[in-house]
């Protein structure tokens, strides 16, 4: 049997980019995959990329809405079963990223989705994992969660630093319950979030970035490790991007 065959995986933010690539890769490895996000049409596009069995299931969720997240996990538990693997890949950024340019409402939105949204998903997933004393959580953060940069912007940097602290603290707490948590910090990746920049990069620049499948391959490797092996964090970036 493949190491991931029949594992139950829930990928939040699975409608595009990194989350989409992870979902298709985990489904191809034999997982029972479900993808969740705000736009059901995008989730359906992800499901359509995998033609095997079992099919990728879809469910709408707003990670900033705690009740919406709780409803998602209730649905998953009833439809699929307890989650073996949770991938937190939902994230947003804004166009005007300096302290002077962004509005308080934009700050709130980024923090609520990127930081509080990750908390909401962990809060909903952990009880069943504790009960089974097993579970793997992958958080797709950003190098902006390790190094605050002008390119990422004030709100995004702050939200990803919060995600770093959240994941590290929860990972340390829950190790005694058999639960592993990995923070992954990608550098520049060719995903739709690049379109939210004030000056989106050219096709030539995007080609030199990491591609979503590169991150999916790392996630597959972590998911296939034995239970006693824990990867707390992993930084992966394009060769040409400085890590400063």
DSSP 112-128: IIIIIHHHHHHHHHHHH
pLDDT, residue 129, reads 98
pLDDT, residue 51, reads 94
The tens digit of pLDDT for each residue in 146-184 reads 999 999 999 999 999 999 999 999 999 999 999 999 999
- The two tokens of residue 166 are 């959240």
pLDDT, residue 1, reads 60
Question: How large is the greatest C-alpha to C-alpha distance in the chain, in angstroms?
Answer: 55
Active site amino acids: 156
pLDDT, residue 132, reads 97
Alpha-carbon distance 119 to 194, whole Å? 24
SS (H, E, C) 197-218: CCCCCCHHHHHHCECHHHHHHH
- Contact predicate 83/129, CB 8 Å: yes
pLDDT (mean) for 177-192 = 97
Domains annotated on the chain, with CATH = 8-235 (3.40.50.720)
DSSP secondary structure code for residue 225 in this structure: S
Tell whether the model's pLDDT for residue 198 goes beyond 90.
no
CA dihedral over 2, 139, 199, 64, signed as positive or negative: positive
pLDDT, residue 46, reads 98
- The two tokens of residue 183 are 């923070």
Share above pLDDT 70 across residues of the chain, in percent, rounded to a whole number: 100
pLDDT (mean) for 22-33 = 97
- Contact predicate 121/62, CB 8 Å: no
Tell whether the model's pLDDT for residue 190 goes beyond 70.
yes
Alpha-carbon distance 234 to 185, whole Å? 6
- Cα 21 vs. chain centroid, distance in angstroms? 11
Global pTM reads 0.95
Tell whether the model's pLDDT for residue 188 goes beyond 70.
yes
Alpha-carbon distance 73 to 227, whole Å? 23
Tell whether the model's pLDDT for residue 219 goes beyond 70.
yes
Q: What are the residues whose beta carbons fall under 8 Å from the beta carbon of 101, sequence distance 6 or more?
A: none
pLDDT, residue 197, reads 86
The tens digit of pLDDT for each residue in 80-136 reads 999 999 999 999 999 999 999 999 999 999 999 999 999 999 999 999 999 999 999
Tell whether the model's pLDDT for residue 43 goes beyond 80.
yes
- Contact predicate 151/136, CB 8 Å: no
pLDDT, residue 196, reads 82
Alpha-carbon distance 189 to 214, whole Å? 9
């Amino acid at each position: 049997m493949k190491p991931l065959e029949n594992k139950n995986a829930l990928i939040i933010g699975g409608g595009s980019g990194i989350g989409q690539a992870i979902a298709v890769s985990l489904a191809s490895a034999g997982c029972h995959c479900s993808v969740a996000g705000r736009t059901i049409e995008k989730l359906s596009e992800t499901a359509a990329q995998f033609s095997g069995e079992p099919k990728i299931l879809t469910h709408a969720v707003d990670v900033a809405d705690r009740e919406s997240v709780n409803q998602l996990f209730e649905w998953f538990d009833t439809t699929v079963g307890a989650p073996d693997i949770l991938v937190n890949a939902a994230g947003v950024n804004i166009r005007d990223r300096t302290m002077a340019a962004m509005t308080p409402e934009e700050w709130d939105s980024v923090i609520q989705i990127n930081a509080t949204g990750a908390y909401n998903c962990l809060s909903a997933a952990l009880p069943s994992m504790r009960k089974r004393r097993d579970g793997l959580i992958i958080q797709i953060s950003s190098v902006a969660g390790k190094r605050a940069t002008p390119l990422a912007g004030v709100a995004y940097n702050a939200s990803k630093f919060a995600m770093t602290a959240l994941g590290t603290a929860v990972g340390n707490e829950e190790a005694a319950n058999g639960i592993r948590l990995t923070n992954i910090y990608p550098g520049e990746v060719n995903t739709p979030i690049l379109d939210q920049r004030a000056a989106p990069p050219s096709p030539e620049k995007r080609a030199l970035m990491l591609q979503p499948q590169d991150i999916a391959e790392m996630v597959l490797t972590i998911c296939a490790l034995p239970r006693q092996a824990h990867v707390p964090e992993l930084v992966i970036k394009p060769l040409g991007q400085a890590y400063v």
